Amino acid sequence: MTSKRPPTAKPYCDELRGRVEACGVQITELSTHLQGQLVAVHPAYDLSFDGFAPAECRNNPAARTAWAVQQLKWAAKASRNLGIDVHVTFSGALLWHTVYPWPQRPQGLVETGFGELAKRWLPILNAFDEVGVDLCYEIHPGEDLHDGVTFERFREATGNHKRVNILYDPSHFVLQQLDYLAYIDIYHEFIKMFHVKDAEFNATGRSGVYGGYQGWIDRPGRFRSLGDGQVDFISIFSKLAQYDYDGWAVLEWECCIKDSEQGAAEGAPFIENHIIKVTERAFDDFAGGQPDEALNRRMLGL
């Protein structure tokens, strides 16, 4: 698809949205996972992540970061012009290499790391705030935002910026052995996006959470197609309905065994069958009657 108009411009976005919707589908979200990753890269990962940036920015960490920041700011405008009020990204990582430290982390390192991460993201968060779009970080191992505690650290470092929110994906919590249902209870007010992906964790006497540098097929923790793993989606959909989550449930496929086309064909009806129409009344409302303070006092013996 080619156009001389900037990809963030309203006419371009209107045209794109119209073409997509003419096919009977909708754009639910834009993603800047790779760009977000490049907002904060520890030098140990420079070679690994350089390929995420255009050729002119490679071998130049400062230019790479500046490019990523600009991409995020443009993505904010593009999301708004597409009529989307949520956007997903990665946080990047300055501290990940210290997640299981030896030698021990020096005092103040974590605070300094999250302070720098927040400093880099605040101009981006402000750009999203200007257009009324929530920035949802996918809570993900490899990122400095990879669980509840790190989300809280980052949010506090940004001054509790109102655009700091969460993309919830339970598969990443299975691999960490984190309680993904309690996570919803704790952070439901920040969960604005939901990727529906299954996973399993089967520890052995030879390997556990860290995986032993094995490929996906041999790790104790691995991603699976919907319904083939261990995630309790009945409880997840129930909790999200309980807390009035009103966003999309987006199928994400990364299975190490099943073909993607079969995963998609099975996954779409799997999600549809789990979506809950929330009841508008309690089953025993008929027995409650209308409010009657005099009757209530009589029943209490008052």
pLDDT in tens, 84-140: 999 999 999 999 999 999 999 999 999 999 999 999 999 999 999 999 999 999 999
Instruction: Convert the pLDDT of each residue in 151-203 to its tens digit.
Output: 999 999 999 999 999 999 999 999 999 999 999 999 999 999 999 999 999 99
Confidence (pLDDT) at 284: 67
Query: What pLDDT is stored for residue 2 in this prediction?
Result: 38
Boundaries of every domain in the chain: 28-299
- With 90 as the cut, is the pLDDT of residue 78 above it? yes
The residue among 89, 93, 91, 92 whose CA lies nearest residue 31 is: 89
**pLDDT of 4 higher than 50:** no
Question: pLDDT at position 6, please?
Answer: 58
* Percent of the chain whose pLDDT exceeds 70: 96
Q: Is residue 127 a contact partner of residue 76, using CB atoms and an 8 Å limit?
A: yes
Q: Rounded distance, CA 24 to CA 295, Å? A: 55
pLDDT tens digits along 11-45: 999 999 999 999 999 999 999 999 999 999 999 99
What's the whole-number average pLDDT of the chain?
A: 95
For the segment 240-248, the average pLDDT, to the nearest whole number, is: 97
- For residue 291, the model assigns a pLDDT of 85
Count how many residues are written for the chain: 302
pLDDT at 26: 93
256-264 long-range CB contacts below 8 Å, 24 or more apart?
A: 256/216, 256/217, 256/222, 256/223, 256/224, 257/217, 257/224, 257/225, 257/228, 258/224, 258/225, 258/228, 262/225, 263/225, 263/226
CATH 3.40.50.970 fits 28-299, yes or no: no
pLDDT at res. 286: 65
